Amino acid sequence: MLIRILLASLSGLMLVLLFPPFGIALLAPLSLAPLCLALGREFRPAARFALGYVSGLVLWAGVCWWIAPVLAVHGGMGVFGGWGSFVLFCLLKSLHYGVFGLLAGVLIRHWYGPPSIALLWAVLERTQEPLTLFGWLMLGDAGIDMGLPLRMAPIAGVYGISFLFALTAACFSAILLKQPRTHVLWALLTLLPALLPPLPTSLRSQAHAALVQPNLPTANEVTTELYAEAKAHLVRLSLDALREGPADVVVWPETPGPMFYYEDPDLRARVNEVSAAANAPVLLGTIWRDRTGAPRNSALLAPSGVRYDKMFLVPFGEYVPALFSFVNQVSDEAGAYTPGEGITLVPVGGRKAGVFICYESAVGHHVRQFAAAGASVFFNISNDGYFFRTPAREQHLQLVRMRAAENRRWIVRATNNGITAVIDPSGTIREQIPSFDGRSARVAFGYVDEVTLFSLAGDWFIVFGALAVVAALIASQRPNYVKPRRRQPTAEHR
């Protein structure tokens, strides 16, 4: 059993190495192979669950360790409270991987095992956000710089790439387990991306934006004087970018301290000043209160007043899940935020644009709705100041890049202190402002009207994948319920 635990831990470690700060993406196609090998040699259900669970623990502890200092400092929990809550977080998040181990160990012994295991992995990835309220990096996100696997993104989303990587690992483990060659032939499916359209290369920019990265202090450091200076600083940086040339929109980030556009006449005056100088609208983050008095985190296009209310809130940042009711909120806004009811498109340069806020970049099935509704370009405003100088910044940007590839959309991203960037429809970073550098830039972006299959149909791949997994699990149990045929007596026994 010790060898199997080490193999499961190795898979967890390889998954950690895929993402920032390591970024060894070439490990992705084989990252699940050690776990599959361990599962193929384990017949006890509880042990298979434990093996998957161990992989999950290593993965979450290695990728999202930055959650602990965020809760300790910005959540006001202290070192022990922050790390204690993070341990509970890892224990909860690893349940998905325990389920994977339990079920994959059943499927791996059958001729349809490799594709069923790969689909199972992709389906369980999709259930992370709704079931545990937090979805982060998927296996497929490691393929953001791999041209061939990335062709799956506009077809099946990041989960299609996860399927390819998991299938490769499952077929490789079938070889090590000395299974029949028919099990390994499923590896031919990994050639599917070669038949898909290549990533766009001739990408023409048609518009410009003035991106502002103010590098403001975190919310718990803000005073009245600092808030006044912050507004003046945003105006100065905006005007600096406009001196480089005209812009179709000025983009301010989601700031670390609440900005109340509707309640702050001085803020409205400064936004109008920038809008008049640019002869273009200003996109900014603001807090407003609904009829019940509950705060909402929103993106506002001023002075037109078109507003999108954030729908997917940050656990611990904008609300505290019931299971963690003892944890303080990271945000200093009183009470939990209220999520928005639906998407809203904002007009930019005579076209329609979608705006998603901060953590929403991790929710691919949400972001794709903007393109399906007619958005020709995406804007992302975020405040990653709570991440300190941890790998969470690069991880967050990797998620945004995958959203660009899935929907074939330019994404113009403004953050408080990094990583502010422009990403083209192939997920490539075109322009970037260095982190922790208070500056602005006039950047180029483009519009795309074509709608990808993923943008239009969403999680069709996951739906069919879930049905296939259920069918495979039923088929795997059929021999246990089929009554064996009685042998007909021969003449000599009559």
Span 90-119, pLDDT tens digits = 999 999 999 999 999 999 999 999 999 999
Q: Band of the pLDDT at 25, cuts 50, 70, 90?
A: very high
What angle is formed at CA 215 by the lines to CA 208 and CA 75, rounded to 5 degrees? 125
Residues of the chain above pLDDT 70, percent: 93
- In the structure, what pLDDT confidence band is assigned to residue 276 with cuts at 50, 70 and 90? very high
Q: Examine the pLDDT at 330 and tell me if it is beyond 70.
A: no
Give residue 46's pLDDT: 96
pLDDT at residue 333 above 80?
no
Where do runs of H (alpha helix) occur along 316-427?
Answer: 364-372, 392-407
The two three-digit tokens of residue 231, written as one number: 């507004």
Beta bridge partners of 380: 356, 413
Task: With a cut of 60, say whether residue 190 has pLDDT above it.
Answer: yes
pLDDT of amino acid 181: 86
Q: Say if residues 375 and 353 touch (Cβ distance below 8 Å).
A: yes
The model's pTM is 0.93
Mean pLDDT of the chain: 92
Residue 159 has pLDDT above 80, yes or no: yes
Give the phi and the psi of residue 241 in degrees, each rounded to 5.
-65, -35
Element spanning 61, H or E? helix 45-63
State residue 101's pLDDT score.
97
Residue-wise pLDDT tens digits, 139-151: 999 999 999 999 9
What sign has the CA pseudo-torsion 276, 278, 281, 284? negative
Q: Which pLDDT value is given to residue 318?
A: 76
- How does pLDDT run across 296-318, given as a tens digit for each residue? 999 999 999 999 999 998 876 67
The arithmetic mean of pLDDT across residues 65-75, rounded, is 87
Instruction: Tell me which of 337 and 369 has the higher pLDDT.
Output: 369
Q: Mean pLDDT lowest for which of 156-170, 189-203, 442-456?
A: 189-203
pLDDT band at 331 (very low <50, low <70, confident <90, very high): low
Phi-psi region of 271 (alpha: psi -120 to 50; beta: other; left: phi over 0): alpha
Q: What's the confidence (pLDDT) of residue 412?
A: 98
What is the mean predicted confidence (pLDDT) over 179-194? 92
| Rounded mean pLDDT, 357-370 | 96
Confidence of residue 491 (pLDDT cuts 50, 70, 90): low
pLDDT bracket for residue 487 (50, 70, 90)? low
Higher confidence at residue 492 or residue 46?
46
SS (H, E, C) 386-400: HHCCCCHHHHHHHHH
pLDDT at 490: 58
Residue 128's pLDDT is: 93
CA distance 195 to 393: 34
